Structure 1
Amino acid sequence: MVLARCCFPASVKMNVALLACLVALVGICLARSDAPRGVAVPFVFDLKATCDPRCQHAGICIRNNTCFCSRGYEGETCQYANCYPKCKNGGECLRPGKCRCPSGFGGKYCHKVKCDSGCWNGGDCIAVNGVAKCICPSSWTGSKCQEAICPQGCRNGGSCMAPGICSCPEGWLGGACHTAVCHRPCLNGGKCLSPDSCRCRPPYSGPHCEERKVF
């Protein structure tokens, strides 16, 4: 039963029957286990009582500067909403049963760890010193576990596309993009050092080591 149902416009004087209704309702509410804190039993209602500042959220001024709070609110002027269970991980109770969660947490009572955009590639979202963070499997890294790890590295402008696998630019190949590609082979024992560039063994020279020097 809600106390607000016995409220009436301030311009209308409370009659005896309405006062009896209010006292009966308050007596019932006080018997509940969730009765607002700070109100003693037996209940005493002073018609001439004033509360400054005024009682908030439908609270009733029962004695001078003493508010009787409606269910879900508490505080000297009923200014604080009450969430049960209480908001966790630094969450703020906005209204009864409604929490505003800090960054990194979610759920009705801010009890769930929440990583922005989630954790990719099998990463787990956990709280580390109160901050939501992705814990990545051994082959991935980055804030969302979005970056693959190539233990051998990717050389010559290559990039790691998947664990241990490099994507190589044109002219390079190999597990670490370390092998140059010469479309025309290097002759006479020459070695391809960079794309289409050969290092020749003496006495040979030329783009593909095809020329023999004459001494």
Structure 2
Amino acid sequence: MAIKVGCLFLLLLPLLSLSWADEITCLKTVSSCSQCMLSGPQCVWCTAPNFKRRCNTLSGLQKAGCDASHMYNPQGSVHVTRNDSSNEPTTGTLFLQPQQVTLHLRPGVSQSFPLYITVARNQRTPQLNMDTSLMPAEVNITFSNIRHGNMIVEVNVEASNCHKTSDNSTQDSTGPSFVHITPRGFLQSLKLEIILDCECDCKGNREENSPSCDGHGDLVCGSCECYQPYSGQHCQINVGSNFNRDDKTCRQGPNAPLCSNRGTCVDGECLCHSQENPNERYRGMFCECSNFDCPFHNNRYYTTICPYGCKSESLNTFHFLFRICGGHGSCECGQCICDNDWTGEDCSCTLDTTSCMASNQQLCNNQGLCQCGSCRCDPPYAGPTCESCPTCLGPCQTHAECVDCRVFGTGPKKDRCQDECNYLIVTKVGSKTYIDAPCKMKSREDSCYFYFSISQDREGIHCTAAAMKECP
């Protein structure tokens, strides 16, 4: 497989998993650290016991109060495992440093390192092509040539997912996989050992018979792994027990359905039913809450992911991104909890007013209201920012009578000038030659012409007027 230094090399990826290029948010319903890691490169897992939403972005966990010491957020690593030195190579050969590198890759997070290529001084060094041995389908390698002569080549490696290397492979792509990088025409090569970080290292910190799990399970990465026949968030339910307490404890009220018709009452506690879609869940003491019975916005489409394989081969190549609450919030117990800068029953209303800003830096030209990112203009104003008004008077006609009374004390508003025209900030100049694009208006009282211009800023409406009229 040939790759030219300085050129981007990109493998075509099979559509076996959701690409990191797609819009991804941290899944709120994952039950394990490993599922959280696979839901997106920006996702972090909180290992603190009894933490409600463990899988979130770094900022989300910080806001929720997860201490930094409990945050599991691997970003991969580069470790040089062989880096022998050598004298200058002879003609026809070259020398590579390092000779072997071990990479730990978290899907979606790239790792880079320099590859030093030394050639004999009397040997010409045209731009090299780089050959690679067969790579796992989910691994991409990019090269860039930083310096010619004794060259330094930047090697960038990234994995897209954690699926197996091929359909008939029995080796999980967590690794290790080995790839050789060889300058074309030479024998020396760099050996890459690639290990995908698809399982959480915090699993090694297992607390057996943990009190947090009621002594009936192990605490792993902050979550309980229950021993049989126990179940529940804290392994507090003996599923195999034939003794059932009064099922009143499984009802919200005297006549309420058992476990809201969404679960089974076991030993006086509700075990909520599982859904066909693993991302959809019931929860709560009475299974009264769900993360999917919330309003959808206009762009409704549903998730159908086949984590354990679909019956139809065609479904394996399609992914339907789960959208709910307009794609701008989470569904909590039948209500949308909107992200920052979004509101409304279905989180479809943005609080961002950028699209409502008129050219004068006023929201909706101060002639309407900005609602959900769109202007609702007061008649007769129209347009995206309420700056269009075909039937409105222009600024010259609108302000002429106030300019006449404020500057010259004449005109039809001279007797009520203080009440109706005090809004003008007036500046007088010697003549119309000092005014850019002046308005020329005729006074009704003396038939004389006067000249002025109008501008507006945050301070108000400004009038620059010539101090003298022109009379016929």
TM-score, normalised by the number of residues in structure 2: 0.19
**Max radius of gyration: which structure?**
1
Return the structure number with greater relative CO, CA threshold 8 A, min gap 6.
Answer: 2
